[in-house]
């Protein structure tokens, strides 16, 4: 569980990475140590920009900021067409949408909004937060605030045919030092229907974090392959047209 302690200075840890987690997965990860919730965060911002560039050609990308969502706990919240979110906290209760910090004296340690001019975010009081997609996605990213060290660390898990885990950075954090991370990944050619954020539990260590500015890219719809009969019909029509043109040319030459 977190220890509450005010940070007295701004410290930044730079950790942008583009690391293949498997043959098709590329991760985009950046971490900034935060003295206040409004401190500059250039590394996580750079990671988010790199992710945005990478997903531009993959499909239709959506951004969920949670602004205007119903405040309070939720059991199965629809956040976009065909996309739902649910989870259980450290006490096996539902996770929560907030617009203020759960710990106003130490907001950098417990999660906060990251949307410019916004205030809403998902507070994950340890436990899990799961996103479910009716149509598969091949890219996902989000900001994670109030991240602190515990063992094992926070992670993103999903299956693309194989069980995958991507760590959420917590380098140079502690019980009194929190970070703001952006973590995203692309998994081109895959169709992922469920992604889970893991923030620990009372038995192994628990972290209270904020999740905001969630992005995901929907897999493009693939048009059906023509039936063999359709292909044969098209070829037949093309051949007939070619024969007509040949005969017409011969007639003109005579």
**pLDDT the model gives residue 50:** 97
C-alpha span between 121 and 167 (Å, rounded): 21
For 67-117, the pLDDT digits (tens) are 999 999 999 999 999 999 999 999 999 999 999 998 889 999 999 999 999
Q: How would CATH label the architecture of 17-218?
A: Sandwich (2.60)
Phi and psi angles of residue 153, each rounded to the nearest 5 degrees, phi first: -80, 170
For 44-73, the pLDDT digits (tens) are 999 999 999 999 989 899 999 999 999 999
Q: Are 192 and 136 in contact (CB under 8 A)?
A: yes
- Terminus-to-terminus CA distance in the chain, angstroms? 95
In order of 128, 173, 200, the CA distances from 1 in angstroms are 15, 14, 10
For 145-155, the pLDDT digits (tens) are 999 987 667 99
Neighbours of 254 (CB within 10 A): 5
**pLDDT the model gives residue 246:** 47
- The per-residue pLDDT of the chain, averaged, comes to 84
**pLDDT the model gives residue 9:** 35
**pLDDT the model gives residue 252:** 55
- Domain assignments of the chain as residue spans, ordered by start: 17-218, 226-254
The full 3-state SS of the chain, as one line of letters, equals: CCCCCCCCCCCCCCCCEEEECCCCEEEEEEEEECCCCCCCCHHHHHHHHHHHHHHCCCCEEEEECCCCCCCEECCCEEEECCEEEECECCCCCECEEECCCCCCCCHHHCCCCCCCCCCCEEEEECCEEEEEEEEEEEEEEEEEEEECCCCCCCEEEEECCCEEEEECCCCCCCCCCCEEEEEEEEECCCCEEEEEEECEECCCEECEEEEEEEEEEECCCCCCCCCHHHHHHHHHHHHHHHHHHHHHHHHHHC
User: If 0-12 CB within 10 Å is exposed, 13-18 middle and 19+ buried, where does residue 11 land?
Assistant: middle
C-alpha span between 39 and 177 (Å, rounded): 13
What mean pLDDT comes out for the span 164-172? Answer: 95
For 229-248, the pLDDT digits (tens) are 554 555 455 555 545 444 55
Q: Can you give the pTM of this predicted structure?
A: 0.80
**pLDDT the model gives residue 150:** 73
C-alpha span between 20 and 38 (Å, rounded): 31
Residue 201 has pLDDT above 50, yes or no: yes
Residue 17 has pLDDT above 70, yes or no: no
Interior CA angle at 116 toward 112 and 117, to 5°? Answer: 95
ω into residue 152 within 30 of 0, thus cis?
yes
C-alpha span between 174 and 235 (Å, rounded): 69
């Amino acid at each position: 569980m977190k220890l509450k302690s005010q940070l007295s200075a701004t410290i930044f840890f730079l950790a942008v990475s583009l690391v293949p987690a498997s043959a098709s997965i590329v991760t985009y990860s950046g971490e900034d140590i935060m003295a206040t919730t409004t401190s500059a965060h250039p590394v996580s911002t750079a990671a988010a920009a790199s992710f945005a560039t990478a997903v531009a050609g993959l499909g239709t990308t959506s951004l969920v900021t949670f602004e205007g969502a119903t405040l309070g706990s939720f059991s199965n919240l629809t956040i976009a067409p065909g996309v739902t979110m649910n989870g259980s906290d450290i006490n096996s209760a539902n996770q929560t949408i907030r617009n203020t910090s759960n710990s106003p004296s130490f907001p950098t340690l417990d999660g906060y909004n990251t949307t410019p001019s916004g205030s809403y975010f998902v507070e994950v009081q340890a436990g899990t937060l799961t996103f479910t997609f009716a149509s598969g996605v091949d890219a996902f990213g989000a900001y994670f605030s109030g991240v602190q060290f515990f063992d094992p660390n926070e992670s993103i898990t999903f299956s693309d045919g194989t069980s995958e885990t991507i760590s959420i950075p917590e380098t140079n954090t502690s019980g009194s030092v929190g970070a703001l991370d952006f973590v995203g990944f692309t998994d081109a050619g895959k169709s992922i229907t469920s992604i889970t954020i893991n923030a620990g539990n009372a038995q192994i260590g628990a972290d209270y974090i904020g999740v905001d500015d969630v992005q995901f890219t929907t897999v493009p719809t693939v048009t059906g392959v023509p039936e063999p009969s359709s292909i044969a019909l098209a070829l037949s029509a093309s051949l007939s047209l070619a024969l007509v043109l040949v005969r017409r040319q011969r007639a003109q030459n005579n």
